[in-house]
Amino acid sequence: MIIYKFGGVSVKDASGIKNICQIIGNAKCPLTVVISAIGNTTNLLEALVEAYFSGNDKLRELLNQVKKNHTSLIHDLFEEVPEQVLTDVNALFIELETKITKPSSDQFNFEYDQVIGFGELLSTTIVSAYLNQIGQNNEWVDVRTCLDSDDNYVDANILWESSKEKVCTRFTKNQNTLYITQGFIASDPKGNTTSLGREGSDYTAAILAHLLDAEKMIIWKDVLGILNADPDYFENTTKLDTIPYHEAIELSYYGASVIHPKTIKPLQAKQIPLWVKSFIEPNQNGTLITKGERPQPLLPNYIVKKQQVLVSLKPLNFSFISEKDMVFIFSLVTKFRIKLNFTQNTAVSFVFCVNTSARNWKDLAVELEKYYEVEITENLELITVRHYTSATIKEIQFKHHVLGEQKNRNTAIYLIDTNWNFPHIPKKEFESALRDFSFQENLE
């Protein structure tokens, strides 16, 4: 079995869907294809859940937008729209509408998961119908019938044991079978839909690859492979040809958004090779993630996390930051289900950084204010450099206002204040400072 995963960008319009269907058509079966929601559907559904939960009057408008996007896509895609695809897509629209017409419970995360997966259900229904129309027979699988998770809504945990048998029974390794299924969602023991965390379709593909002992997995992206920095923010990036599993785990953990952080471990456990390839240039080699010691080529890798907020805490009673404080702060962070991207402490203060988009960080800050003097700084960024050199560090320090720094042998993390207008450094001065440092010195 081979596993393919296509994300929202690859299926954002009719020509995107035609392109991925061509890639699928050139593949060897048995093949399981995991697909995400079309374009920005998940963001739209997130706004819809917020409106549903808070009783906001935008609800109807958002629902109509979801319907309109998918209906126009169908009309762009099919020359003659098959009755069946309209029936199936309408059934999903009705199910979604019925859900949001009923009063919501007071459990936001539960409500979120009952709505958010409609994006993947819609996209896979459309792609499966199109493949059938062009003569690529396939089986559409509702992944919730075989992928079990606990009920930790919004960030559910896979129940590996119970999923194993169901997945192997559903996705049989019949020579010619092509399966089309959804990423990102699963089902809890009560049969409610759960989701695996934003951008979790890469992870779904890896779970299926693990459970089915896949020969290989390919994630198709809009980039040539994994680069040494996000091309959206850096010029002159270089593609990495091979990356060892442990290195890919580090890169995604620090925020290289090209791959979901949970993706690698299930593959590493069974030594399943993972390729990251371009759906725009499918014949190019891409990046291979496999066993090994070092990435090839070995270069400084930059990872930027934008939109960070720094929360600084000082005990109100003039005491030091003690172990007890740490336990207390981390228990609140866990209770509010917040992920910390950076932490640091001194004798009298503890600071942490979270994504500005984290839903509960303001509530957490209000709670902390009962015990600490709390200072908030917004508009920050975190820049992580794996395999840094003195020159890369010097460059960051020259170009940015650094509020905090953490370094170990291979990784340096910088907390950058983007509120600060850095004075322009003359190019000559900058280049001569860089010349003092060797690019290679830390790479051994």
Ligand X SMILES: N[C@@H](CC(=O)OP(=O)(O)O)C(=O)O
Toward ligand ADP, which CB reaches closer, 53 or 279? Answer: 279
Q: Which residue sits closest to ligand ADP, CB atoms considered?
A: 7
30: preceding bond cis by omega (within 30 degrees): yes
d(CA 130, CA 75): 11
Stretches 15-23, 36-44, 300-308, 417-425: which one binds ligand X (CB under 6 A)?
36-44
Say if CB 373 and CB 428 are below 8 A apart: no
Q: Which residues contact 364 (CB under 8 A, 6 or more apart)?
A: 311, 332, 333, 336, 338
Binding to ligand X by CB under 6 A, coded x per residue (else -) over 102-121, reads -----------------x--
Toward ligand ADP, which CB reaches closer, 8 or 295? Answer: 8
Beta strands in 104-234 (DSSP E): 139-141, 178-182, 185-187, 193-195, 216-221
User: Which parts of 78-107 fold into alpha helices (H)?
Assistant: 83-101
Closest approach, Cβ 362 to ligand X, in A, equals 23
119 binds, among ligand ADP, ligand X, none (CB under 5 to 8 A by kind): ligand X
Chain positions 244 to 273 lying near ligand ADP, rule: CB under 6 A, are 256-258
Query: Tokens for 367?
Result: 């709670």
Q: Which residues contact 435 (CB under 8 A, 6 or more apart)?
A: none
Binding to ligand ADP by CB under 6 A, coded x per residue (else -) over 172-201, reads ---------------------------x--
Toward ligand ADP, which CB reaches closer, 88 or 381? Answer: 381
Closest approach, Cβ 151 to ligand ADP, in A, equals 26
Cα–Cα distances (Å) from 134 to 21, 22, 37, 64, in that order, read 9, 10, 21, 29
Tell me which amino acid residue 99 is. K
Longest CA span, the chain = 74
Binding to ligand ADP by CB under 6 A, coded x per residue (else -) over 212-231, reads ---------xxx--xx-xxx
Is residue 199 part of the contact set for ligand X (CB under 6 A)?
Answer: yes
Toward ligand ADP, which CB reaches closer, 184 or 342? Answer: 184
In the block, tokens 């390729």 appear at: 275
Chain positions 304 to 343 lying near ligand X, rule: CB under 6 A, are none
Toward ligand X, which CB reaches closer, 112 or 352? Answer: 112
Residues forming contacts to ligand X in the complex (CB under 6 A) are: 7-8, 36-37, 42, 119, 183-184, 198-201
